[in-house]
């Protein structure tokens, strides 16, 4: 723990220092604040709540643009984000990049090398890049990411890009954090539609076919036409019609057009629609935090810890059905 005038820094002093540093837009304080809200330790959670309460009036503004970015493996998300982020910084924006990495749920740590892959953007004074934490559950990753967004917004970052490297539920999770969900894909020979699940088409607000440069430009335009046709089948009349465009993050081609489509989606939502969407997201996030907290309490329950090994042994040996085992674990938890 850090030292202040020869004595240990008290929790209240630490939170006050971080609040002051975040408001002053000091990068070290922003980084430390995000580390605090990412932590799953009980004492850190209490401090994080105090921190976020103090910063609440400085975050969550409607002028902050929150964009989720996902895509098929190898689509070039990091290259695209660096190109877009560098362009936005040059236009006077402060850009925060948060990477949601569900693989950390399995391995216990982030496997992303975003700062290495985004060499130009990572050294820009007006940009902040942060890979996701080891959060134990996808819900934990979501909790940490949403709270990290609040810290960045309090530090006057006006564009937040949330990248997910996963597929399936992680994309749905990210879509529930942001104003606009951008899906990147590639032109493939005849299988571009098979590689995209219907669920992705249902949550995407903007779709961009990346790597549309050189000899691949024509193929990318054909893929965009196919995707536009597919979207008409899954979207109802009167809904926002997600535009399908082409771009090249590597060569910075039409990246500005993709951003213009993102802003057009925000304009379509309008102030009332954006406020309603964020309110609904806050309600869902409330329940996500409840579920994550219950999961943490279950993991640290003395009663569960006492029966865990015995129940695991019996289930693995085929002596105890999963339904009965679950009931015993919950009974042990309730007994606390």
26 in a structural domain: yes
Q: What is the CA radius of gyration of the chain?
A: 22
Q: How many helices (H) and strands (E) does the chain have?
A: 14, 9
Are residues 156 and 86 part of one domain? Answer: yes
Are residues 64 and 48 part of one domain? Answer: no
Are residues 138 and 34 part of one domain? Answer: no
| Measured distance CA(55)–CA(16) in Å, rounded | 10
**Residues 235-257: tens digit of each pLDDT:** 766 678 899 999 999 999 999 99
In terms of residue numbers, what domain contains 194? Answer: 60-268
Are residues 46 and 27 part of one domain? Answer: yes
pTM exceeds 0.75 for this model: yes
* Model pLDDT, residue 99: 85
| Measured distance CA(165)–CA(103) in Å, rounded | 8
| Measured distance CA(197)–CA(214) in Å, rounded | 28
287 in a structural domain: no
Question: Is the pLDDT confidence value at 270 over 90?
Answer: yes
Are residues 329 and 197 part of one domain? Answer: no
Q: Cβ neighbours of residue 163 under 8 Å, at least 6 residues apart? A: 68, 69, 70, 77, 78, 81, 97, 98, 99, 100, 114
Q: Cβ neighbours of residue 262 under 8 Å, at least 6 residues apart? A: 65, 67, 180, 182, 205, 206
Order of all β-strands in the sheet with 180-185: 127-131, 95-100, 159-164, 65-71, 180-185, 206-209, 244-246
Question: Is the pLDDT confidence value at 109 over 50?
Answer: no
**Residues 49-98: tens digit of each pLDDT:** 999 999 987 765 668 999 999 987 788 999 999 999 999 999 999 999 99
* Model pLDDT, residue 144: 85
Domains in the chain: how many in total? 3
For residue 133, what is the domain's CATH number? Answer: 3.40.50.300
State the angle between helix axes of 255-300 and 138-154 in degrees (0 to 180), rounded to the nearest 10: 120
Residues above pLDDT 90, as percent of the chain: 54
236 in a structural domain: yes
Are residues 182 and 51 part of one domain? Answer: no
Are residues 64 and 43 part of one domain? Answer: no
């Amino acid at each position: 723990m850090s030292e202040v005038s020869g004595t240990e820094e008290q929790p209240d002093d630490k939170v006050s220092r971080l609040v002051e540093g975040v408001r002053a837009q000091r990068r070290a304080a922003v980084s430390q604040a995000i580390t605090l809200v990412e932590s799953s330790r009980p004492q850190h959670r209490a401090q994080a709540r105090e921190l976020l309460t103090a910063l609440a009036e400085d975050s969550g503004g409607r002028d902050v643009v929150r964009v989720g970015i996902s895509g098929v493996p190898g689509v070039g998300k990091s290259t695209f984000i660096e190109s877009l982020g560098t362009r936005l910084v040059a236009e006077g924006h402060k850009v925060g990049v948060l990477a949601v990495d569900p693989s950390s749920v399995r391995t216990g740590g982030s496997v992303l090398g975003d700062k290495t892959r985004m060499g130009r953007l990572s050294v820009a004074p007006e940009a902040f890049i942060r890979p996701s934490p080891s959060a134990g559950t996808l819900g934990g990753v979501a909790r940490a990411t949403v709270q990290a967004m609040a810290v960045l917004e309090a530090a006057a970052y006006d564009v937040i890009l949330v990248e997910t490297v996963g597929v399936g539920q992680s994309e749905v999770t990210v879509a529930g954090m942001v104003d606009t969900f951008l899906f990147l894909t590639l032109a493939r020979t005849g299988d571009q539609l098979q590689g995209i699940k219907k669920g992705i088409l249902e949550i995407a607000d903007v779709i961009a076919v990346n790597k549309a440069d050189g000899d691949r430009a024509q193929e990318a335009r054909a893929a965009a036409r196919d995707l536009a046709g597919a979207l008409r089948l899954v979207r109802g009349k009167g809904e926002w019609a997600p535009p399908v465009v082409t771009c090249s993050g590597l060569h910075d081609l039409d990246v500005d057009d993709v951003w213009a489509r993102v802003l057009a989606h925000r304009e379509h939502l309008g102030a009332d629609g954006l406020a309603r969407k964020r309110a609904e997201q806050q309600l869902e996030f409330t329940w996500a935090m409840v579920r994550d907290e219950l999961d943490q309490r279950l993991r640290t329950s003395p009663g569960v810890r006492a029966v865990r090994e015995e129940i695991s042994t019996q289930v693995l040996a085929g002596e105890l059905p999963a339904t009965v085992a679950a009931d015993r674990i919950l009974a042990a938890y309730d007994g606390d």
